[in-house]
Chain A
Amino acid sequence: MAAVLLIESVMKFAIALFSAAHAPSSRRALLFAQAALAGGHEIVRLFFYQDGVYNASASVVTPQDEQDLPKQWRAFVAEHQLDGVVCIAAALRRGVLNDEEAQRYQREAVAVGAPWELSGLGQLHDAVQDADRLICFGGA
């Protein structure tokens, strides 16, 4: 009975992703996010941290016979107009810069743009406070 109630009530999920785009956990995160929306649930925010920031990188080139995760994430976030946040400190450390940060640090390569937003760890805490559940992928 409890399981039935769980399925029927709408959940607010915060999803945190810590692994790089080529990691199986990143694909699982996307599949979970898609299933959550398909099940009528809400995603209050996606937060990419640690190597998870690579999932937002437009510079990733995936072999043709493999899943292009950054492309799929981008399409998913844009289609559903989700709040997709990439941790700015983690992104800077890994060279995943948006236009603004590339200008600020005088770097040539811009790897991330809309629909992603670079912001701080406060956005993770804010999402945790807002959500019913925090679901993490790719942690230790």
Chain B
Amino acid sequence: MPTSLLIISRQAPWSGPSAREALDIVLAGGAFDLPIGLLFLDDGVFQLAPKQDAKALQQKDLSANLQALPMFGVEDLFVCGDSAAERGLAPDSLSLEDAQVLAAHEITALIDRYDQVITL
């Protein structure tokens, strides 16, 4: 049985390369067909904010990469609904429809399901 890995992405998409680099770990794991999950937590939920305009910040948009996750074999996608609500984002407005919305108290159980965790 391969070791399962949960990536917890906690940074907003425009705060530096952290969100991008967390996603790169996930995509690499998907490419190797490893059991990998991705949880958007705290400011990480801003990565899923609808109607982002990356060009206004002269940045590249992560949204398209996130939408492609299931195609890369990464289907275990989670978002903390409490983090979203605290930041004024309605959980049903988030741009990643495949992500399962979890309450804060469900996250300990999620982490328990994985062998290893990386938080970025």
Q: Which residues on A are within 8 Å of B, measured CB to CB? A: 16, 18, 49-50, 89-90, 93, 120-122, 124-125, 128-129, 131, 133-134, 136, 139-140
| Residues of the B chain whose Cβ atoms lie less than 8 Å from the Cβ of A124 | 25, 28
- B contact face: mostly helix, strand, loop, or mixed: mixed
Q: Which residues on B are within 8 Å of A, measured CB to CB? A: 2-3, 5, 10-11, 17-18, 21, 24-25, 28-29, 31-32, 34, 116-120
Return the contact of A50 from the options B2, B10, B17, B31 (Cβ within 8 A).
B17
User: Given A89-B24, A122-B28, is A129 in contact with B10 using a C-beta cutoff of 8 Å?
Assistant: no
Considering the complex, give the chain A residue whose CB is closest to the CB of B26: A121
- Bound complex: CA of A133 vs CA of B116, how far in Å? 7
Closest A-B pairs by Cβ, 3 of them: A121-B28, A134-B116, A140-B10
- Bound complex: CA of A6 vs CA of B84, how far in Å? 39
Q: Does the CB pair B28–A125 fall under 8 Å?
A: yes
Known: A89-B24, A134-B116, A139-B120. 12 other contacts (CB 8 A): A50-B17, A50-B120, A90-B21, A122-B32, A125-B25, A125-B28, A129-B34, A133-B116, A134-B5, A134-B118, A136-B117, A140-B10
How many A-B Cβ pairs are below 8 Å?
49
Most buried by B among A93, A121, A134, A136: A121
Q: Does the CB pair B116–A125 fall under 8 Å?
A: no
Whole-angstrom distance from the CB of A47 to the nearest CB of chain B? 10
Most buried by A among B31, B116, B117: B116
